[in-house]
Structure formats: structure tokens, C-alpha cells
Copies of this chain bind each other. A is one copy, B any other.
Amino acid sequence: MTAAAAKGGEDAGGLSEGVLGGLVGYRLRRAQLKVFEDFLASFAPLGLKPAQFSALVLIEANPGRSQREIAAALGIQRPNFVAMMDEFERRGLARRHRSQTDRRSHALALTEAGEALLRQGRVIVAAHEARIAAGLSEVERAELLRLLIRLGTPAAD
């Protein structure tokens, strides 16, 4: 760290950060932008964005759940999840089955193609994680996850 950075904080262009550097929210935003940038590039070959990947993971881990349940778990508004499911079905990655107990709701499940894509996704995401956490030891990465969970896990509300 430079002397200037130690005093008030200074960015790449030589500008002082003022109070920003010490704000968790500001650091979160900058870190997330950078991590998502790497994710987007990593998953471009699979044609998946972060929200789509997380939705597929959640559907696979919780087959038979409704759109409302999956969307809520991801913090996605129900109306906005409709288009995502439409695309999943169009690409043959997931399907909506009529629930046997409540004909209003859709029981979601991955297709074979969806499972296959997720297998590729898990390989890619592992490389992505290793890349973004390259400057951290395994202990530090675990500590970062622990602190982030304490900050933001909806379940901890």
C-alpha cells in the first residue's frame, strides 16, 4: 500500500477516495462488478448469465418446486422469472410440469440437456472461483464467505 493510500485512500488514477474506501457497501459493489465481469466472460460459451446459472442450480437442487418458490429464493420478482423459464423451456434446459396437488402452480425440473449444461457449468464456475480468489488463501476465501453470509443471508434476517 502506498503512503497516500494509507492516509485517505487513492485509486488507480491518483484520485483520493475520501470516505468511500472504508465503506463496506462501496467495496461490495466494486468487487461484485469485477467478479460478475469474469463470470459473464466465463459463461459466454454456455450462454448463461449469473441469474440463469443460479436458477438452474436451484431447480436441480430442488426439483418439483414452484416458480414462486425458486424465484423467491433468488430474490427475483415472480413476473420477471416467467421470461427466464420461457427461455429455459425454449432451449430445452428445464420444464414446467403441472403440479398434481395444486393445478395453479408449476413443478419445475431440469431436462437431460439442462443437467448436462449444469455439469459443464460446475466445471467452469470452479475455474471462475479459483480465478477471482487467486489472491486469497483457502482460509481467507472461507473467511470471506463467512463474513458475506453474516452480512447478507436473507435467512439471517
Residues of A within 8 A of B (CB): 8, 10-13, 15-20, 22-36, 39, 50, 54, 57-58, 60-62, 65, 69-70, 72-73, 75, 122, 125, 128-129, 132-133, 135-136, 140-141, 143-145, 147-157
Total copies of this chain within the assembly: 2
Nearest residue (CB) in B for A68 is B13
Chain A contact surface mostly: helix
Assuming A136-B147, A150-B135, is B24 touching A28 (CB within 8 A)?
no
Do residues B15 and A148 form an inter-chain contact, with CB atoms below 8 A?
A: no
Q: A28 contacts which chain B residues (CB < 8 A)? A: 28, 31-32, 35, 148
Contacts of A135 in B (CB 8 A): 150-151, 156
CB-nearest residue of chain B to A70: B15
Chain B residues with Cβ below 8 Å from A15 are 58, 61-62, 65, 69-70, 73
